[in-house]
């Protein structure tokens, strides 16, 4: 019984460390797009880009597996897709375990960063996900 309780506590502590931290999200507000385009972590994650009717650009960096079925043979990752194609991709990706790192951009500045887990995935952020990071990191 003691081992079960200790295992539960350890799992709770480990899970608690992997959360979305408000400071990491807030750090992106007002940042120029170049900070996102050159960030070493987001450079390694496929991005799907679209635009809302009010001109807001939406960039979704999808950190997940098994997305090949949703990517239209990779065509979804080239340029900007129309909102209908983005919506179809978004519906498909909900079936897969992924963290959708969604950035809203206006006037070449990030106005909001919202990570959304789908398919049972839990998103997390760390100081390495903030703008200006330039070291080595491991992501999952």
The structural domains of the chain, with segments of one domain joined by +, span 19-129
Per-residue pLDDT tens over the stretch 84-126: 888 777 777 676 788 999 999 999 999 999 999 988 889 999 9
The region, left, alpha or beta by phi > 0 then psi within -120 to 50, assigned to residue 4 is: alpha
Q: Is the pLDDT of residue 80 over 50?
A: yes
Q: Is the pLDDT of residue 61 over 60?
A: yes
This prediction's pTM? 0.75
101: its two tokens: 């790192």
Find out whether 128 and 41 touch, Cβ atoms under 8 Å: yes
Per-residue pLDDT tens over the stretch 7-41: 333 333 344 457 999 999 999 999 999 999 999 99
Length reported for the chain: 140
Q: Is the pLDDT of residue 6 over 70?
A: no
Residue recorded with tokens 């809302």: 52
9: its two tokens: 């506590």
Residue 71's pLDDT band, with cuts at 50, 70 and 90, is low
Question: Which CA distances in Å does 78 have to 50, 74, 103, 118, 121?
Answer: 11, 7, 17, 22, 25
């Amino acid at each position: 019984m003691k081992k079960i309780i200790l295992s539960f506590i350890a799992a709770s502590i480990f899970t608690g460390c992997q959360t979305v931290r408000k400071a990491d999200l807030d750090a992106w507000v007002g940042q120029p797009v170049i900070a996102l385009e050159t960030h070493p972590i987001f450079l390694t994650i496929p991005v799907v880009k679209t635009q809302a009717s009010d001109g807001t650009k939406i960039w979704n960096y999808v950190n997940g597996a098994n997305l090949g079925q949703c990517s239209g043979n990779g065509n979804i990752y080239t340029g900007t897709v129309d909102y209908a194609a983005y919506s179809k991709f978004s519906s498909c990706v909900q079936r897969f375990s992924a963290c959708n790192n969604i950035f809203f951009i206006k006037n070449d500045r990030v106005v909001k960063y919202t990570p959304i887990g789908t398919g049972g995935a839990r998103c997390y952020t760390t100081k390495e996900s903030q703008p200006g990071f330039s070291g080595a990191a491991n992501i999952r």
